[in-house]
Amino acid sequence: MTDSEDAREGEATPPERPLLENGKPVQKPDYEKGSMGRRSFLGKIGAATGIIGAATYLSKAPEDWPLSMRDDSGHRSEPKITPIRLNDYRIEKSAAASADVGIGRGGTPKQMLRKALDGIGGIERYISPGDIVLVKPNVAFDRAPALGATSQPELIEELVNMLLVDCRAQEVRVADNPIESPADCFMKTGLRAASERAGGRVYLPDSNAFKMLNTPGAKLIEEWWFFHRPFTNVDKVIGVAPVKDHNLCYASMGIKNWYGLLGGRRSQFHQDIHEIVSDLSIMIRPTLTILDGTKILMENGPTGGDPSNVVTGDVVMAALDPVAQDSWAFEHLLKRDPNDLPEYLHKSEEKGSGRVDYTGRIKEIL
């Protein structure tokens, strides 16, 4: 038997000579019995102990120790979702603005929008140069704009244009989470084309676009999935809503419009519709809410579907107080009895989102 060290040396010096014993070549054994040195033995034992020890620590150390992976209750492995909070996007009302709600009447949609904004002191007062502004239209269904179920593209185009050109906003985003296919709804309503023509960027929701939102004080959506992607680094938020009939909650206007940012199983909220809509009024504190009274869906809402359901109006509203705005629109645009005012407006007032009573807080520009 040869020493293993010698064998290694032998390999290094070719050619290897055949081993001779009594003058005859001796066949090498197929394998050689190795022997483990002390160092190697200790090293292996050490490594094994280390690995087993580390594994034991990770799995068995008390749960509050660093790096511990122990989970006795099974609760530690539950996915942890850290809710986020939204900023308050409101702006202090300047002294110069006398009203909380501006109403622009007559002319083209562009003129009406301009008048409405002038009623609350002009848009430049609310948007600073370099702002990232999010515009939230209502794109719920794949309807043509004339059917009044969605926001009017002319108004959105005008607004985006105004924000980029007049207010010198850095970026204008347009986003909604429609009930029907988002890609399709944005196309059929003409809102994608309108936004992009004016230079806005359209954000469509997909599975990764939602985050858990924490809204302190909300009853139903204290924590709920929220279409958050377009809100990343946003400075100002403007809602642009149509005025629509709604069988369950009587009317869908400026506050109800925020429903379109919810994700998750939102159809459950119809079981307590007035609570959810008033929750929405505190979920988002928008810079401005704009109501589009140029195409008013008087019946068969909120989907519409027939031109006969739509009345053409000549009003655009812009408001700092969405509750007062909805209250006025319910009475004057949908032409309903103010005694039937949706309960959610009163609830919103209770939650501190504004005041139902609009008397003396309105500036109408003809």
Partner 1 sequence: MSGPTPVDELLSKPVRKKLRLTNVRIASQIFFFGGFILLCWLTWTSRLEGYPVSRILEMDPLVMISTMLSTGYVYRYLGWGLLVLGLTLLAGRVFCNWICPYGTLHQFIGWLFNIHKTKDNFDRNRYLDVYYFKYALLTVFLIMSAMGALQIGLLDPICLMYRSVATVIAPTFDMTVEQIPGVDPLWIDNLKFAPGVSRRVFVGSFWIGLMLLILVGANVYVPRFFCRVLCPLGALLGVVSRFSLFRINRDVHKCTDCDLCLTRCEGAADPQAAVRVSECFSCMNCIDDCPEDALSFSMVGLDTKQVQLKPDVSRRRMLFSGIIGALGYPLIKIHGKNTNENFSPMLIRPPGSVEENEFLEKCIKCDQCINVCPTNVLQPATWAEGGLEGLWTPVMNFDISHCQLKCTLCSEVCPTGSIRKITVEEKLGKGEFVEEGPIVLGTAFFDRGRCLPHAMDIPCVVCEEVCPVSPKAIQTVDEEVKDVFGEITLLNKPFMVPDLCIGCGICQAECPVLDDRAVYVTAVGESRSDERSLLLESRAKSDK
In the shown chain, the binding pattern of residues 240 to 279 toward partner 1, with x for contact by CB under 8 A and - for none, equals ------xxx----------------x-xx-xxxx------
Q: Which stretch binds partner 1 (CB under 8 A): 30-38, 48-56, 200-208, 315-323?
A: 200-208
- Report how far residue 116's alpha carbon sits from residue 71's, in angstroms, rounded to the nearest whole number: 59
Shortest separation between residue 247's beta carbon and partner 1, angstroms: 6
Of 252 and 348, nearer to partner 1 (C-beta) is 252
Instruction: Please pick, from the candidates 70, 229, 285, 346, the single residue that binds partner 1 as defined by CB under 8 A.
Output: 229
Cβ neighbors of 269 (< 8 A, separation 6 or more) are 220, 259, 262, 276
Query: DSSP letter string over 259-302?
Result: GGGB-SSGGGGGGGHHHHHHHHHHH---SEEEEEEEEEE-SSTT
- Which residue's structure tokens are 């292996």? 44
Of 22 and 207, nearer to partner 1 (C-beta) is 207
Neighbours of 34 (CB within 10 A): 8
Instruction: Please pick, from the candidates 121, 145, 200, 302, the single residue that binds partner 1 as defined by CB under 8 A.
Output: 302
Q: Which residues pair with 195 in a beta bridge?
A: none
By the rule CB under 8 A, 170 interacts with partner 1: no
- Report how far residue 316's alpha carbon sits from residue 290's, in angstroms, rounded to the nearest whole number: 7
Shortest separation between residue 221's beta carbon and partner 1, angstroms: 16
- Report how far residue 205's alpha carbon sits from residue 263's, in angstroms, rounded to the nearest whole number: 9
Of 177 and 287, nearer to partner 1 (C-beta) is 177
Shortest separation between residue 163's beta carbon and partner 1, angstroms: 18
Residues that bind partner 1 (CB under 8 A): 141-144, 179-184, 186-188, 192, 201, 203-209, 229, 246-248, 265, 267-268, 270-273, 300, 302-306, 308-309
